[in-house]
Amino acid sequence: MTGLLACALDLLLVAGSALLVHQLMLPPALPGHGLPLAWSDTQTMLVSFNALLAVVLFAAFGVYGQWRDRSLSQLTHRVLAACGVVALAGLALLCTPRLENVPTSWFIAVTAASAGMLLLARLVPGWVARRLGRAATRTRTVAVVSTRAHARNMLAQLAHAPGAQYRAVCVYDESDDAPEWLHNVPVCGNFRDFAGMVRARAIDEIWLALPLADQHLVRRFVREFRNDFVDIRYMPDLRGLPHLQCSVDKVLGYPTLNLAVSPADEYQLWPKEIFDRVAAALALVALIPLFVVVAALVKQSSHGPVFFRQRRKGYDGREFEILKFRTMCLHDEAPGTVTQARRGDPRVTRVGAVLRALSIDELPQLLNVLRGQMSLVGPRPHALAHDELYKNLVEGYMHRYRIRPGLTGWAQVNGYRGETSTVEKMETRVKFDLFYIRNWSFWFDMQIILRTPACILLRRNAY
């Protein structure tokens, strides 16, 4: 309901801003134009378009998400970015014959006022809530029960967390070589002394950051403090498990740790789906002249077809046929073998070398995006033979296919494109891919898309 109310409020703010600006600009007319500013149906249509597009973009950019513990400056950037897209789309509409009579200055004033209202509606309540929250929130004291290495990591995170609401005051470690202090926090090695300290100092919370195998210790602490008003939190130490996408859920009422699941459901991915299809369709239409020229050059460069086709894995490991402009001379390879292109590879034609350096050979994959087999942004799909090679050598390699593969990705804009000549290079690329999957958002996609052209032009890893 909160999301629906926020959408409704945004629609009202855009409409209200438009009416306010219109009234302020009404007497007597736009300076220098002599045009009366009577409200017209075309203006109603334009304001409605602005409002609806703003709501859609806010949802896509994550503006309607939870911002309690996140940066207001980041929220500001997302709101302004969405409003910028709305402004550009509206200016494009003003060039159409039906809207050519709408004054551009009126539209700019309405758009600027709407952006200001939408931004203030978020920043002011957010600022007030944080000020009140800081005044009302008391730092809670915490006793940490964990293995020494894990406790050290937790204490370091607590010490460097901005605006932390928790303060560690004690660590429980019953090992024989336990230190007296850990990150300037006293260490207690006797269970009775620890229980007495928790009660004497009225510690607010006990964090049980223990391995899953130590459930007997969990039961011991819960039983000891069953009559005390201290909060006990169980934070399983999962460092020994090969989890790829750890999150907490409930299945049939059972608390569930998701160790390897798809990162987002279809509802969360709908902005990405819509953007992929629309952007791919528009790009294909705009690139028709380039495709014709490149096709002719490829055909002239060497004998063979214009397009290179190869089976690759897509979402959930489903195979599809990827498209590229052919950049190599026709050649035979042993079954199940795919040799990566190397610097100075004699198989690459002169035309192909240019296409590969500028990644123009990848543009036909816009058709794969249009078909729903790929996305504009995502982990790059590799040849099936490489999948078989690396899936048992690189941890988390196949988890990359939990989402649709992309034309560009987080690994590529960080310089990891082209040949992966060693297992270490592939491991690094996979780490970037998994980071993208864990932290996906529509806004993250936009950042990667905007960085891609510069990365292609400035880095020469593809050959």
pLDDT for the residue numbered 259: 77
Last residue of a domain, one of 92, 117, 136: 136
Number of domains in the chain: 3
pLDDT for the residue numbered 66: 65
Packing angle, helices 266-286 and 442-458, rounded to 10 = 40
> What is the per-residue pLDDT across 426-449, written as a single tens digit (0 to 9) for each?
999 999 999 998 888 888 898 999
Instruction: Give 229: exposed, middle or buried? Use CB within 10 Å, 0-12, 13-18, 19+.
Output: exposed
101 plus 186 within the same structural domain? no
Q: Which of 73-82, 412-421, 425-434 has the highest mean pLDDT?
A: 425-434
Helices assigned H by DSSP within 61-143: 72-94, 104-136
Model's pTM, two decimal places?
0.66
* Residue 229 scores a pLDDT above 70: yes
Contact 404, 373 (CB under 8 A): yes
pLDDT band for position 226 (cuts 50, 70, 90): very high
For residue 150, the enclosing domain spans: 140-241
pLDDT band for position 44 (cuts 50, 70, 90): confident
Out of 157-161, 162-166, 233-237, least confident range: 162-166
pLDDT for the residue numbered 200: 95
- More confident site: 392 or 418: 392
Structure tokens at 394: 């690189």
Distance in angstroms (rounded) separating the CA atoms of residues 208 and 311: 48
HSE-CB for 167 with a 13 A CA cutoff: 9
421 plus 380 within the same structural domain? yes
pLDDT for the residue numbered 250: 79
* Residue 318 scores a pLDDT above 80: yes
* Residue 74 scores a pLDDT above 50: yes
* Residue 217 scores a pLDDT above 70: yes
160 plus 295 within the same structural domain? no
422 plus 321 within the same structural domain? yes
Least Cα distance to 378 among 275, 294, 259 occurs for 275
Is 102 among the domain residues? yes
Last residue of a domain, one of 81, 101, 136: 136
Over residues 191-205, the mean pLDDT reads 95
102 plus 168 within the same structural domain? no
Cis before 28 (ω within 30): yes
* Residue 240 scores a pLDDT above 80: no
Distance in angstroms (rounded) separating the CA atoms of residues 403 and 366: 17
> What is the per-residue pLDDT across 267-299, written as a single tens digit (0 to 9) for each?
667 778 888 998 999 999 999 999 999 999 999
pLDDT for the residue numbered 439: 85
307 plus 177 within the same structural domain? no
Over residues 182-192, the mean pLDDT reads 92
pLDDT band for position 35 (cuts 50, 70, 90): very low
Its sign, for the CA torsion 178, 179, 184, 186, is: positive
pLDDT band for position 333 (cuts 50, 70, 90): low
Is 254 among the domain residues? no
280 plus 223 within the same structural domain? no
Is 103 among the domain residues? yes
Query: What percent of the chain lies above the pLDDT cut of 90?
Result: 37
Last residue of a domain, one of 136, 169, 191: 136
Contact 383, 359 (CB under 8 A): no
Is 257 among the domain residues? no
pLDDT for the residue numbered 27: 55
Query: What percent of the chain lies above the pLDDT cut of 70?
Result: 86
pLDDT for the residue numbered 68: 59
pLDDT for the residue numbered 451: 92
Is 248 among the domain residues? no
287 plus 408 within the same structural domain? yes
* Secondary structure class of 406 (helix, strand, coil): strand
- Please, which residues bridge with residue 111 across strands? none
* Residue 156 scores a pLDDT above 50: yes
Distance in angstroms (rounded) separating the CA atoms of residues 120 and 156: 36
pLDDT for the residue numbered 34: 45
177 plus 321 within the same structural domain? no
51 plus 105 within the same structural domain? yes
pLDDT band for position 1 (cuts 50, 70, 90): very low
Is 290 among the domain residues? yes
> DSSP secondary structure string, 426-446?
HHHHHHHHHHHHHT--HHHHH
Out of 185-194, 209-218, 252-261, 333-342, least confident range: 333-342
- More confident site: 51 or 164: 51
Is 252 among the domain residues? no
Is 352 among the domain residues? yes
298 plus 437 within the same structural domain? yes
Judged by phi (left if over 0) then psi (alpha if -120 to 50, else beta), residue 337 lies in: beta
Please state, in angstroms and as integers, the Cα–Cα distance from residue 400 to each residue in 310, 356, 395, following that order: 19, 23, 11
Average pLDDT, the chain: 84
Domain CATH number, residue 208? 3.40.50.720
- Please, which residues bridge with residue 182 across strands? 185
* Residue 48 scores a pLDDT above 60: yes
Over residues 390-397, the mean pLDDT reads 91
- More confident site: 460 or 103: 103
pLDDT for the residue numbered 73: 78
408 plus 287 within the same structural domain? yes
